[in-house]
Structure 1
Amino acid sequence: MKKLTINSSKSSDMFTQIHECIQGNLVEDWGESVLTFNTTIGKGALRTIDFNWGVSLIDCNIKLNEETKIVFDTKDLAPIEFIFITSGYFEYSENNTDSYTRLEQFQNTIISHKRDAEKTFLFPKNENLKINFIRINRQEYLKKKHNNVSQLNQLLVSLFNDSKGEATFQHGGSFSLRIADEIKLLNDIDTTNGLLRSLSLEGRLYLILSLQLLEHKNFEENMNLPEAISKEDILKIHKLTTYILEHISETISITILSAESGLSPKKLQLGFKILYSKTVNEYVRQLKLEISKDYLKNTDLSVSEIVYAIGIKSRSYFSKIFFEAYDVLPTDYRKHLKNKNASLR
């Protein structure tokens, strides 16, 4: 087993120590550090970026050749960590005990350990790991004007105000594919302009954080649907989203999706409601509309051709639901984009 001890809670210091251990190539630009490696330890990429008011992002896309334990041994006030895994799993313990909590794929997790306690992450070998950490230095964040911490539920209010780090906090909440989708969009942000990239990353990060806070609120207030769906069902529904995208030009019904996934129509509706806060039809329709916007913006396809490409039979119906969603007709949306581009020349 590989073991690495980290003695600072600051993202930049952590990255320096990790780089010293695994080597690789470290690139820093516009406050963003990206470490790529392909060594005897494993291969992959780690990224960190610090934002204002004590908020930072660390994300990992790695595969390790041996089980790896990272021990955080620091006297610093521990950050509040919002963790989401889109691929794989890892385990967590406090005080370096042999008792570990397994953090699961697609589950919303929030942790913070006591100031004097050790925190341990145990990563498995030969597992494709994609993990997103949003870390909040509570002392810095509370200096932010209109931080609105008081609007959170009492558990999180007390956690944010625990300036001495006297409490342990661990929340293993509901599963969410909506958060997984937003994290994919976060990782897909690609622009050569450093300022635009930083702003895009920060905006997407705060959206993800708000969804994680909302999940915690709903979980604590028992607002999630009472019926349960299994991890296997979640993976089947996640796989279905790829199927829907690949067959977007076709008629996609609950009956077809039920046959494709092996889940009953009732289970499908329940799963989409829990994981996306949408019915199956609402999810499919929104995806078709988002793709149509992309076609209108980036292609010369006519509206009729776009309607055919996204599998909607009626142009008038398409115009109706497009207007309901975006408060503009498809033709006017395209005209607006053309006029805007012309004014920039």
Structure 2
Amino acid sequence: MRTIEIHSVDGAEILEQLNQHLHGNLKEQWGEYVLEFKNDWGSGTIRSIAFDWGISLVDYDVNFKEELKLIFQIGEINPIEFVFISEGNLKYYYKTTDQPYELERYQNIIISPEKQEKEVYIFPKSVDVKVNFIYIIRNEYFKKKNNNLSFLSESLYSTFQDDSSGKPYKHQGNFNLKIADQIRQLQENYDTGIVRTLTIEGQLNLILAMQMLEQSNFESGQSLPDSLSKTDIRKINQLAGYIIDNISEPLTISTLSMESGLSSKKLQAGFRTLYSKSVNEYIRQLKLEVSRDLIRNTDDSISEIVYKIGFKSRSYFSKIFSERYGILPTEYRKKIKVK
């Protein structure tokens, strides 16, 4: 495992300290710093930009060849960190914890370390990781006119208050695809100059609002329509097993919704979160994988296999099998027999 120590919360300084190890190309344009690297450490792009009122962004799109331990030792300044992983995963711990916390994809995460605390983020080996860090320096943000912080949940408002900034805080909330979509727009911003800067600032404020709203609803026991709890995720995982066991049956969204107890909207969101596919796309892929195994490992006729995976039309099955695997089912069987 490789280790890098960071001694700043300033985005530009973070990138400079990272580059002392990553030996990439660091450049600045329109107030935005961009570090690109591709070498023995791995490859990727890390961006940073800072705004008034103590708000800054550090965005990672990286893949490291070894596990990377990123250690932050930043002294008296302990920012509030709004973290969102849109691809991959991270581990996180601070000095008082025995076991690292698993930070998961699409989960809303808010962290504020204790003063003088050492924070550690562990990036996995050979995994594409896209993670968005929005840092807020409390005493600067409090100077912002109409900050309306008093409308936050009690726990988050307490965390924002400068006189209580020595207290640690960690929120691992629900999984939310709307936040993921907003961050994707942030990452795909191709504007230039002032338009780019203003767009990024507006998007950051919207992402912050969405993360604060999710935290507030989470603590009050409510759920946003596009949020998924760990219980919801567990039900989706169980549903995947149910689909396998009933692959020959008509598997409609309403049937699966009744089986899982989840609304059709949550069902679709769950499959998008876990498998990056709609429910129907996932079922179709699973049927094709099962059919391929049956062709390879049994003497069942193609018509029998079509029946076993719940398709009514052999011609339709042949069409989508060919689209998926680049070969017709009958030709695939002949190829297997030859081997």
TM-score w.r.t. length of structure 1: 0.68
Aligned residues: 258
What does 1:1-345 align with in structure 2 at a 5 Å threshold?
1-95=1-95, 98-163=98-163, 165-191=165-191, 193-224=192-223, 228-230=231-233, 233=236, 267=262, 269-271=264-266
Please give the secondary structure, in 1, of the residue aligned with 2:262: helix
Which stretch has the larger CA shift, 224-233 or 42-51? Answer: 224-233
Distance in 2 (alpha carbons) for counterparts of 1:121 and 1:227: 22
Displacement of 1:14 in angstroms is: 1.2
User: What's the RMSD between the two structures over aligned residues?
Assistant: 3.0
- Secondary structure at the residue paired with 1:9? coil
Change (3 A) 1:159 1:274: farther
Change (3 A) 1:100 1:269: same
Change (3 A) 1:63 1:268: farther
* Structure 2 residues not aligned, in runs of 5+: 241-250, 271-277, 279-339
Structure-2 change in CA distance of 1:185 and 1:256 (3 Å): farther
Contact 2:257–2:264 (CA under 8 A) maintained in structure 1: no
Contact 1:4/1:71 (8 A) holds in 2:
yes
CA contact (8 A) 2:22 2:37 kept: yes
One-letter code aligned to 1:30 = W
- Residues 195 and 258 of structure 1: is their aligned pair in 2 closer, same or farther, counting only changes over 3 Å? farther
Distance 1:69 1:194 in 2: 34
Q: What is the one-letter code of the residue matched to 1:11?
A: G
Q: CA deviation at 1:264?
A: 6.1
The one-letter code of the counterpart of 1:229 is: D
Secondary structure class of the residue paired with 1:229: helix
Cα distance in 2 between the residues matched to 1:266 and 1:67: 39
CA distance in 2, matches of 1:80, 1:263: 41
1:169, 1:53 → 2: CA distance?
21
> Greater Rg, structure 1 or structure 2?
2
Over 3 Å counting, the alpha-carbon distance change for 1:162 and 1:268 in structure 2 is: same
Q: TM-score, normalised by structure 2?
A: 0.69
